[in-house]
Chains A and B, each alone.
Chain A
Amino acid sequence: MTEPDIPVIEVRDLFHTYLAGTALEVDSLRGVHLKVYPNEAVGIIGPTGSGKSTLLHHLNGLIRPMKGDVLIKGTSIFQWGEHIKEVRMKVGLVFQNPERQLFEQFAGDDVAFGPRNMGFEPEQVRVRVKEAMEMVGLPFLYKDRLTSQLSLGEKRRLALAGVLAMDPQVLVLDEPTASLDPSGRRTLLSILTQWRTLGDRAMVIASHNMEDIVELADRVFVLANGKVILSSSTGDVFSHYDVLIQNGLAVPAVLELLHGLKKRGYPVSLDILTAQEAAKAIKGLYDA
């Protein structure tokens, strides 16, 4: 990486305990450090219960740190004070199954909720809604559709549009493709990739789908039991086959193939991520 700017999000030694002080208390985060720089996409993987969602909910101040700190553009979440609303706009959070949180009768009004709250004039709201809907591949005419009549994939994209309409600098996504059919998943992945090309945009994605992570993330943090056990470039993280498997995770299919070949004694390198490169490597062995 070139000389990094100030991280757009920095998580410092973050701890979180659910039901603290009761017999049922559970340590969810136990000293997490994480930096997200402008223009990068960071993947977060970890088994169920590793603290992924808890961590994500800290990134826009939805949960306040019990210990440690979260800095947004260099300023502690505690210092944003009454301007915390600004943080919520800068860091757009898309929850798991966000379509369950759509509440307006008409699709367009759901997207408009954020910009209206931000105090924009009706005409500006309209422009933002139009741009956001088009960005997620929903024709602006859909604004007058009944939200309840949209398909699951459309609802998911509508919920995403509602966050994008606030023009966030960081988009935080929790399991964005879960429950989507293969084509819905492809569409969503390409929308997210497209969004990044707007420039000065960062993304944080938590997913159980390693193929999604390969497609979207530049760097990956591996969480286990509330701690970061591995963080590196996507290629490097997925070369740690044993660590990932032992922690209830997986590698993308490309690496499962290469790892299988390596175990059989073929000299393949494990820093390959695309089908194309893997096929080339196999061709190399074939010709050798």
Chain B
Amino acid sequence: MSVRTSRPLIRISGLHYTYQEDDQRPIHALNGIDLVIHEGEYVAIIGANGSGKSTLLKHFNALLLPTQGDVVVLKWNTRDPEVLRNIRSTVGMVFQSPDTQIIATVVEEDVAFGPENLGIPEEELGERVEQALELVGLKHLRKRPSHMLSEGQKQLLAIASALSMKPRCLAFDESTAMLDPGARRRFIDTMSRLHQQGIAIVTATHNMDEAALAQRVVVLSEGIVAVHGPPSEVFTQKKLLTDLKLEVPTSMRLAERIGTYIPGFPQDLLTVPELVNTVDSYLGQRRSSLI
């Protein structure tokens, strides 16, 4: 399942960021973040509103530059304007509202826009567009005007357009927040398919069920990393989560309730299918022992 290697892809050290608008109080959004995103890793970033998730993500591909500290993508420091292109084609970004990042009027033109600007030769360009549309499942809509797509389809288009840059990492900022449950399921499937292909996935989300699917969960609080680790470690720290205005995935809430009736019932069940399996094996055991 894991294609994670220990090779660092994005190295963040001592990152501080302060929003300073004229006549306004400065807002210290990030207050010293040290974090490494590895090649091929699947990371979820969670934290209360205002904890710094979006600000952090925007540093991944130099949409924001550190007030203090450094962000290095492969060997490129985001402060170096000479390597901006390399950075942007290594780390792609997908936001909550796809309308803010769809540029072209036709689906396939939007997907071609990025690599075309890089001067990719026409033949390869065609291949890249083809592959990207295939991966997100939008091939049948390639000639469709982009404003005539559904919300979910627009979100997939935003991914395809990021993918055509052949990134090694895709960062998603609350990308599923406005999707209906079906579109959300397809979106999550797409993310895990991309992960299988070796692309590192970093997703900032308020949905704990979604975060539980990642290999590693990073919890932000007031601009610092409060804790990070595999979901099974992070989500068992219930007190900490509550203090940070977060909660456990729904499956764990259900497991907890079941545990009050069936002592010893496992609590670290991160998804509903896992929960179903565990209940099944408990009931199965019980049945056979009675026969």
Contact = CB atoms under 8 A, between A and B. Distances in A.
| Chain A binding surface, main DSSP class | helix
B130 interface: no
B25 A175 contact: no
A150 to B, nearest CB: 10
Contacts of A152: 49-50
A279 B257 contact: yes
A275 B206 contact: no
Contact of A151 (B50, B206, B282): B50
A47 B180 contact: yes
B255 to A, nearest CB: 9
Given A179-B177, A279-B258, A286 B283 contact: yes
Contacts of B39: none
Contacts of A182: 206, 208, 245-247
Interface in B146-184: 148, 150-152, 174, 177-184
B272 A260 contact: yes
B245 A184 contact: yes
Contacts of A261: 276, 279-280, 283
B279 A257 contact: yes
Contacts of B49: 151-153, 179-181, 184
Given A257-B275, A261-B276, A279 B286 contact: no
Contacts of A245: 182
B104 interface: no
A253 B250 contact: yes
A123 B77 CA distance: 59
Contacts of A283: 258, 261-262
Contacts, number: 123
Contacts of A278: 254, 257-258
A180 B206 contact: yes
A210 interface: yes
A80 interface: no
Interface string A144-167: 000011011100000000000000
A275 B260 CA distance: 11
B100 to A, nearest CB: 13
Contact of A179 (B96, B185, B262, B279): B96
B245 A183 contact: yes
Given A48-B150, A48-B151, A257-B254, A249 B262 contact: no
B181 to A, nearest CB: 4
Contact of A249 (B151, B180, B257): B180
A267 to B, nearest CB: 11
B286 A260 contact: no
Contacts of A180: 49, 206
24 contacts: A49-B150, A178-B177, A178-B178, A179-B49, A179-B206, A182-B247, A183-B48, A184-B49, A184-B245, A208-B181, A208-B184, A248-B182, A249-B181, A249-B182, A250-B181, A257-B254, A257-B272, A261-B276, A261-B283, A266-B280, A279-B254, A279-B257, A282-B258, A286-B262
Closest 3 CB pairs of A and B: A248-B182, A183-B245, A260-B276
